[in-house]
Amino acid sequence: MTKAEIVNEISKSTGLEKANVLETLEKFMEIVKDSLAKGENVYLRGFGSFIVKTRSEKTARNISKNTTIIIPEHKIPAFKPAKVFMEDVR
């Protein structure tokens, strides 16, 4: 499902204009992204959590040059679904 399809579904079920729904959805995504960039997790009860995970430093190989490189520790965004969410999907 695409963002446009989500906007259409919300618009149909609530009766709100698509432009308003799109603006709200865009703002929600911006707030989640900004919070994760600051290192803050976002918890949505009954849905899940947007969290920041830390990947530890590791050694990798460049096979074509036959060299070893160090990939430094870095942070990545992740989503952890709530238990209720998982049960509904199953």
- What does the pLDDT look like over 25-58, one tens digit per residue? 999 999 999 999 999 999 999 999 999 999 999 9
Tell me, yes or no, if the pTM score tops 0.75: yes
Number of other residues whose CB lies within 10 A of the CB of residue 14: 10
CATH topology classification for 41-90: HU Protein; Chain A (4.10.520)
Tell me how far CA of residue 57 lies from CA of 3, 4, 79, 82, 88, in angstroms: 35, 38, 22, 29, 36
45's tokens: 């009860």
Using a pLDDT cut of 90, give the percent of the chain over it: 90
Query: Mean pLDDT, to the nearest integer, of 68-77?
Result: 92
The confidence score (pLDDT) of residue 27 equals 97
Domain ranges (residues) in the chain: 1-38, 41-90
Q: Three-class SS of residue 68?
A: strand
What confidence score (pLDDT) does residue 62 get?
86
Confidence at residue 66, expressed as pLDDT on a 0 to 100 scale: 87
Residue 70 burial (10 A CB sphere; 0-12, 13-18, 19+): exposed
Residue 70 host element (H or E): strand 67-71
